[in-house]
Amino acid sequence: MAAISRDLSLSKKPSHFPSSFHSSRSHFYKSNFHHIPMKPVPTTRALKIMNSFSDSSEYQPNQPKATATERPIPTTATTTTDVSSVSIYKAFSLKGMTALVTGATKGIGHAIVEELAGLGAIVHMTARKEAEIQKCLKDWEEKGYTVTGSVCDASVSSDRKKLIQSISIAFDGKLDILVNNAGTAIFKETSNFTDEDHAKIFATNFDSGYYLSILAYPLLKASGSGSIVFISSVAGVVALPFVSNYASSKGAINQVTKNFACEWAKDNIRVNSVAPWSIKTPIIERKMQEEGYIEGVISRTPMRRFGAPSEISPIVAFLCLPGASYITGQVICVDGGFSVNGNFPAHD
């Protein structure tokens, strides 16, 4: 669907954005994205790491040569047991990298945008509601993040195609990071699910990320070191009640993560999934109003609490970092121990 964009840019546009992007702060324009060209401010965690190292602390050991059967090792990656082959600063910085995050005005997606932008990435985010995008962009402008946004329903094929076309123009045919976060859930007994329920769940949770990854593949390949992260769920790892369709869509994500990782490794594209448990997002906060829900979650979670979006976003960011350059095809559960709890007592 087309987006009517409110341009929040300053007077000078970065060179990587199309000339069609307007620079006035006081008017509405029809354009691809909302742009906030400001210098990203690293998060506190990143600053502590970065400020502890300078360029003078970098080591330059000889890189091992690839054999005839091996592909060259990316220069940004740690290639030997000596971790000093890249500086800590470079290993834990996304400075100058481009990222696309779907479903990013709330919850986990919102936190991911802030994490990536805080580490220096130039982020484009999407959501379905214009007003929510506007609110987020204003907040991120005040924080100094380099973020743009556009209306996109990731479950709709035409929206996905328009989005990737716009991304290709804005980022000069390259994309470093794709985070497939858009998702939804319907809670019902399996026998009560309708055809419409099933179609909606799979279109939003699975099809969106599956097809966006395929569409973005040329851009990720062109970057030389692309990274895809799917937001999955422990529901795709263990059996949970009332979410058989949701769980199936997440299980499909976990499997395609492995397939994409193996198929696209030759193109230096890494693919991983992060599988949260009960995180305090709008959907879960509504569930928390139901009698017994909080107690049920806590009693089955060894850490005895719900998670927060800010505990998911750093894992996503890490998987996108140069320091994670040898990690691919993994499904990482971030669940307070829930998925490994066999028969520990329900209560302390």
pLDDT at 23: 29
The CA distance from 273 to 333, in Å, is: 9
262-312 pLDDT tens trace: 999 999 999 999 999 999 998 899 989 999 999 999 999 999 999 999 999
179-202 pLDDT tens trace: 999 999 999 999 999 999 999 999
pLDDT at 33: 52
The CA distance from 220 to 222, in Å, is: 5
pLDDT class of 82 with cuts at 50, 70, 90? low
Tell whether the model's pLDDT for residue 245 goes beyond 60: yes
140-175 pLDDT tens trace: 999 999 999 999 999 999 999 999 999 999 999 999
Q: Once rounded to an integer, what is the mean pLDDT over residues 110-120?
A: 98
Q: Which residues are catalytic?
A: 246
Domain boundaries of the chain, sorted by first residue: 35-53+81-124+153-335
- Global confidence as pTM: 0.78
Length of the chain: 348
Task: Select the CATH number that applies to the domain covering 35-53+81-124+153-335 from these four: 3.40.50.300, 3.40.50.1260, 3.40.50.720, 3.40.50.150.
Answer: 3.40.50.720
In 10 A of CB 45, how many CB atoms? Answer: 14
